[in-house]
Amino acid sequence: MLNIFRGFGAVFYKEVLHVRRDPATLFFSLVIPLMQMVVLGFGIDTNIRQINTVVYNADGRRESRELIDRLKNSDTFHVVRYVETDTTSTTTSSPAALVSASRFPSIIPIGFSIR
């Protein structure tokens, strides 16, 4: 079986000699990645906030209303509209179309409070 690390020591020694001779190489290989890590670490925010949400409450009982209140009071969701009926609305499209148009459709099914 071949040794895959054969010659690694010689290449490593050669690269160390090159870095010792040229300080710019040391700067670009150490300082620049550290600066990128700091800048990108502060610049990227992975917290999700204020997602536009349409709520369709088919259950209508106390537990489902409490769930809607929790969604409304959180910083993650921004409840844009409530859809009350399952029939086609006269002013806009059907509740299913309204729910699919939001970023986070929240459909509370019939019997949610029983489960």
pLDDT band at 90, cuts 50/70/90?
A: very low
Cβ atoms 105, 56 nearer than 8 A: yes
| Ranges of each domain in the chain | 8-43, 51-108
- Residue range 18-63, pLDDT digits in tens: 888 988 888 888 899 999 999 888 888 788 888 888 888 888 889 9
pLDDT band at 13, cuts 50/70/90?
A: very high
- The predicted structure's pLDDT at residue 89: 47
The mean pLDDT of 67-95, rounded to a whole number, is 74
Structure tokens that stand for 80 in this block:
């844009």
Its pTM surpasses 0.75: no
Where do the H-state alpha helices sit in the chain? 8-21, 23-43, 62-73, 95-101
Give how far the C-alpha of residue 20 lies from the chain's centroid of Cα atoms, to the nearest Å: 43
What 8-state DSSP symbol labels residue 14? H
- Residue range 58-80, pLDDT digits in tens: 888 899 889 989 988 998 888 88
| C-alpha torsion sign, points 75, 81, 86, 92 | negative
Helix (H, G, I), strand (E, B) or coil at 83: strand
- The predicted structure's pLDDT at residue 86: 58
Whole-Å CA distances, 25 to 29, 38, 84: 6, 20, 65
- The predicted structure's pLDDT at residue 31: 92
- The predicted structure's pLDDT at residue 11: 93
φ, ψ for residue 88, nearest 5 deg: -70, 130
